[in-house]
Amino acid sequence: MARQASLSGYLELLPQERLAELHLLDTLRGIFESHGYGSLETRAVETVETLLQKGEIDKEIYTVSRIHDDGAKDARLALRFDNTVPFARYVTENAGHLAFPYRRYQIQKVWRGERPQAGRFREFTQADIDIVGDGALPPRADVEIAVVMASALEALQIGDFTMRINSRKLSEGFYRAIGIEQTAEVLRAVDKLEKIGPARVEQEIMETAGATSEQAQQALALAQIRTPDVSFVEQVRALLPDQTGHELLEEGLAEVTEVIHEMSIRVPGRAVADLSIARGLDYYTGTVFETVLHDHPQLGSICSGGRYESLATKGKRTFPGVGLSIGVTRLLSALFDSGELVASRSVPTAVYVTLRSDDDWGAAQNVADTLRSRGINAEVALSAEKFGKQIKYADKRGIPFVWFTDDDGRHEVKDIRSGDQVQADPASWTPADEDLSPQIIRKTADL
pLDDT tens for residues 169-185? 999 999 999 999 999 89
Confidence of residue 402 (pLDDT cuts 50, 70, 90): very high
Mean pLDDT, the chain, as a whole number? Answer: 92
Supply the pLDDT for residue 58. Answer: 65
- Tell me whether residue 112 is annotated as binding: yes
Q: For residue range 339-375, what is the model confidence (pLDDT) as tens digits? A: 899 899 999 999 999 999 999 999 999 999 999 999 9
160 is in an annotated binding site: no
Consult the annotation and say whether 126 binds a ligand.
yes
Task: Give residue-wise pLDDT tens across range 247-270.
Answer: 999 999 999 999 999 999 999 999
Question: Does residue 33 have a pLDDT over 90?
Answer: yes
83 has binding-site annotation: yes
Question: Under CATH, to which class is 351-430 assigned?
Answer: alpha beta
Residue 283 marked ligand-binding: yes
Q: Is 175 annotated as a binding residue?
A: no
CA distance 324 to 127: 8
Task: Please say if the pLDDT value at position 444 is more than 70.
Answer: no
Average pLDDT of the segment spanning 394-407: 96
Contact 294, 445 (CB under 8 A): no
Identify the pLDDT of residue 55.
54
Residue 125 binned pLDDT confidence (cut-offs 50, 70, 90): very high
Give the per-residue pLDDT at 419: 96
pLDDT value at 114 more than 90: no
In the structure, what pLDDT confidence band is assigned to residue 54 with cuts at 50, 70 and 90?
low
Q: Write down the pLDDT at residue 189.
A: 92
Average pLDDT over residues 280-301: 88
Q: Greater confidence, 237 or 443?
A: 237
Task: Give percent of the chain with pLDDT exceeding 90.
Answer: 79
Mean pLDDT computed over 428-444: 91
Domains of the chain, residue spans: 351-430
Answer yes or no: is pLDDT of 166 > 60: yes
CA distance 339 to 342: 7
Find out whether 337 is annotated in a ligand binding site: no
- pLDDT given for residue 56 in this prediction: 54
pLDDT class of 447 with cuts at 50, 70, 90 = very low
Residue 75 confidence class, pLDDT cut points 50, 70, 90: confident
pLDDT 10s digits, 209-246: 999 999 999 999 999 999 999 999 999 999 997 766 68
